[in-house]
Amino acid sequence: MLTAPTFKPLRLPIANGGFENDEVVLSAPVVLAPMAGITNSAFRTLCREQGAGLFVSEMVTARALIERHPETMRLITPGVGETPRSVQLYAVDPTVVGLAVTLLMKENLADHIDLNFGCPVPKVTRRGGGAALPYKRKLFENIVGSAVKAAAPYGVPVTVKMRIGIDSDHLTYLEAAKSAANQGVAWVALHARTAAQMYEGKADWSAITNLVEHLKPTGVPVLGNGDIWSGADGARMMAETGCDGVVVGRGCLGRPWLFADLVQAFEGSTARSEPTLFQVREIISRHGQLLVDFFESEGRAMRDLRKHMAWYLKGFSVARELRSRFGMVVSLSELDYLLSQLEDQQYPAAIGDAPRGRTSHGRPVSLPDGWLNDPDEIATITIDDSVSGG
């Protein structure tokens, strides 16, 4: 039997969500990290049906939200029965993020706000956003403070997710996390890589340990992120680092049952969620229908599903031609036909638990001109946050 990690239940104090005692208590300390083009409400519903946790929307920009861009409004729309409704915002301007949170609060569109300071992709960092932003100490403090202030009258919690820094020469996580804690965030989540690492190598879990110790005097919980491919990985992260919960990203791609696996591991069980190919077949079919409901377009839903197929079938013995046809599926009827061609087999744990998703190699981080000159200077930096989706 695994040793079940000791953890305090993660609590989200929510005043307007109609929850008992005005808070949500996560029975399993697991959070689904937003992934651009992946974690729409269809995928979140699929994951929620597999296990407990908090499931965060795709990242949306504060500016696009206050301008009510149609796709941004679609991205924050929760699935049927999805509670708490969790929205992740990307912003580079304190005023704009305050307006965006106020809009969400006044129109009762969210129960939880997560601020993204971890995205490493060039189109975000070159605007001074995502993982680049914590380097600007005053700007970071003002953005977090503006969001917390706007949400506070409604009793809605604000959390932050970040990386350990821009690169090994510009580590920011300890100072930024302490700043966020002082501004009143409900927790800090740390992806234990720098932005320059992208998704290469192994996450440095020792940084999570350092952050847990650093924030102990504040009482603010720390969630760990990076290289959780199985329930055992999540339990080990909590045991080794002392973190209060885990954030799952790439590990659930093609494996929404990872959340059930994590719940079992947190309970100290050695049982694994290892579906047969026929069981995976049912999940794929369910995913397809959920996507049709979300997009209200069968063609668009199938285009979205295509990128998931290699992840779902990873490790299983499937003919090359059939795999190829899954990657070009155009309708639910064709999907059903292709699924009927699969032969049942046991879950290939050795391969199925392997890393998946983004494998980008490390590279210099794209930054605005002069970004690293002075961590406290922000007035001459021209920044923009008009694109949702990360």
The span from the CA of 123 to the CA of 67, in Å, is 20
Please identify which residue in the block is written with the tokens 């292709």: 338
Rg (CA), the chain: 20
Strands 86-90 and 112-117: parallel
Question: What CATH number should be reported for the domain whose range is 10-266?
Answer: 3.20.20.70
pLDDT given at position 352: 61
Q: Are 311 and 268 within 8 A, CB to CB?
A: no
The span from the CA of 311 to the CA of 352, in Å, is 9
Q: Are 32 and 53 within 8 A, CB to CB?
A: yes
pLDDT given at position 27: 52
Strands 30-32 and 245-248: parallel
Strands 54-55 and 30-32: parallel
pLDDT given at position 358: 63
Q: Are 153 and 184 within 8 A, CB to CB?
A: no
Given 1.10.10, 1.10.357, 1.10.1200, 1.10.3470, which CATH number is that of 277-346? 1.10.1200
pLDDT given at position 362: 77
The domains spanning 10-266 and 277-346 adopt the same CATH topology? no
Residue-range domain boundaries for the chain? 10-266, 277-346
DSSP result, 150-171: HHGGGT--EEEEEEEEEETTEE
- Name the region of 4 (left: φ>0; alpha: ψ -120 to 50; beta: rest): beta
168-to-204, 213, 363, 365, 370 alpha-carbon distances in Å: 12, 20, 12, 11, 18
Helices 137-151 and 173-183: crossing angle in degrees, nearest 10, is 30
Please list the ranges in the chain whose pLDDT falls under 70.
1-28, 352-354, 356-360, 378-390
Q: Is 252 a catalytic residue?
A: no
Q: Are 236 and 215 within 8 A, CB to CB?
A: no
The span from the CA of 155 to the CA of 349, in Å, is 43
- Output phi, psi for 36, to 5 deg: -55, 130
